[in-house]
Amino acid sequence: MPQKFEVHILGCGSALPTRKHLPSCQVVDVRDKLLLLDCGEGAQLAWRKTGLNWQKISHIFLTHAHGDHVFGLPGLISTMGLLGRTAPLFVHGPSTLQPFIQCVVEQFCTNLDYEIHFEPVDSTRHQIIFEDRSMKVWSLPLQHRVPCCGYLIQEKPGLPHILRKMIDFYNIPTWAINHIKAGEDWKTETGEVIPHERLTTPPDPVRSYAYCSDTMPTADLTEWLRGVDLLYHEATYADDDIDQAQRYGHSTARQAATVARAANVKKLLLGHFSARYDDENVLLEEAKSIFQNAFLAHEDLRITP
């Protein structure tokens, strides 16, 4: 079974609140490490419903300093403090977010038992901004009304899979299995060396998830998204509102699908819907006419890249 890589949509609306959607917020669960992407108002309430463990969140990636992407952060920070968090929290985002975070911490979080580290992201450069044993996170410069940055999360290769039959055949003890997975050969009692490749099959292919909210389409972005397994792309408007989209630095569903097709991504998830659409299927149909493997995001959606 592939290792865990899940995206939980907590909110996929845009600036104006509706009865259907919360503002932007997602949790990405990579092998039980939880990343938060944006943190709109109500994020902590939506989080609570997921049943995910608050303490497993160590990194928050914010796209830009617009309220519908960050107004849930003060409550989340406070609540993690009340729940006894001690592990440091890393908040990544354009430097325009620093004054807000600093103000919230100074005014409301003077008694926190954990540290908040703000890590400014250069929203003009495509580069690795975080890396651990399980993943790399790349910045994705977006084109919006203010400095804005999407994120690309790439799994690192997992361990190879053990061939149970071979293990039984050579009577290899359990303690040796992790060594073999890590690349050691096995030496039998008679001194025969069995190459680890004969005892395993290759690890699962690595997967990738890209989060692009809010942005107009750009040629660079399309390049950086090439071959991504799952692309969340904003589709604030339908194409007959393309003037609005351009004016406010957003995309239409058709534009999102055009990016998905040009970048040859595997799956497209549309989100950041304007409050004007009672029936978002108009956005979906528009996208599907360009790129068939498109879906509408919705709160409570859990999806694997």
* Active site members: 68
Cβ 238 to a second copy shortest distance, Å:
19
Contact present, 155 and 230 (Cβ < 8 Å): no
- Of all residues in the chain, what percent are helix, strand and coil, respectively (each to 5)? 30, 30, 40
Is position 66 an interface residue for a second copy (rule: CB under 8 A)? yes
Please say which residue, 72 or 160, places its beta carbon nearer to a second copy.
72
Please say which residue, 48 or 247, places its beta carbon nearer to a second copy.
48
Give the helix ranges, DSSP H, for the chain.
43-50, 67-70, 73-82, 98-108, 164-169, 177-181, 196-199, 219-224, 242-248, 253-262, 281-288
Strands 208-212 and 230-234 come out as parallel
- State the DSSP code for 55: G
Cβ 282 to a second copy shortest distance, Å:
22
Is position 67 an interface residue for a second copy (rule: CB under 8 A)? yes
Please say which residue, 43 or 140, places its beta carbon nearer to a second copy.
43
Please say which residue, 16 or 182, places its beta carbon nearer to a second copy.
16
Q: Look-up: residue for tokens 């050579």?
A: 170
Is position 217 an interface residue for a second copy (rule: CB under 8 A)? no
Please say which residue, 74 or 160, places its beta carbon nearer to a second copy.
74
SS3 164: helix
Cβ 100 to a second copy shortest distance, Å:
5
Contact present, 91 and 119 (Cβ < 8 Å): yes
Q: On the CB side of 245, how many CA atoms lie within 13 Å of its CA? A: 24
Q: With CB under 8 A as the contact rule, which of the stretches 13-21, 115-123, 239-247, 257-265 interacts with a second copy?
A: 13-21
Is position 278 an interface residue for a second copy (rule: CB under 8 A)? no
Contact present, 265 and 229 (Cβ < 8 Å): yes
Is position 49 an interface residue for a second copy (rule: CB under 8 A)? yes
Is position 17 an interface residue for a second copy (rule: CB under 8 A)? yes
Token pair recorded at residue 271? 């989100």
Please say which residue, 44 or 215, places its beta carbon nearer to a second copy.
44
Q: Which of 7, 9, 12, 22 binds a second copy (CB under 8 A)?
A: 22
Measured in Å, how far apart are the chain's first and last C-alpha atoms?
A: 14
Is position 108 an interface residue for a second copy (rule: CB under 8 A)? yes
SS3 2: coil
Cβ 93 to a second copy shortest distance, Å:
13
Is position 295 an interface residue for a second copy (rule: CB under 8 A)? no
Q: How far is CA 15 from CA 156, 192, 213, in A?
A: 34, 66, 12
Cβ 83 to a second copy shortest distance, Å:
7
Scan residues 70-89 and list those touching a second copy (CB under 8 A): 71-72, 74-75, 78-79, 82-83
Please say which residue, 49 or 187, places its beta carbon nearer to a second copy.
49
Is position 190 an interface residue for a second copy (rule: CB under 8 A)? no
Please state, in angstroms and rounded to a whole number, the distance separating the CA atoms of residues 88 and 25. Answer: 21
Amino acid at 183: G
Q: Which of 100, 114, 170, 295 binds a second copy (CB under 8 A)?
A: 100
Binding footprint of a second copy on the chain (CB under 8 A): 15-19, 22-23, 41-42, 44-45, 48-49, 65-68, 71-72, 74-75, 78-79, 82-83, 99-100, 103-104, 106-108
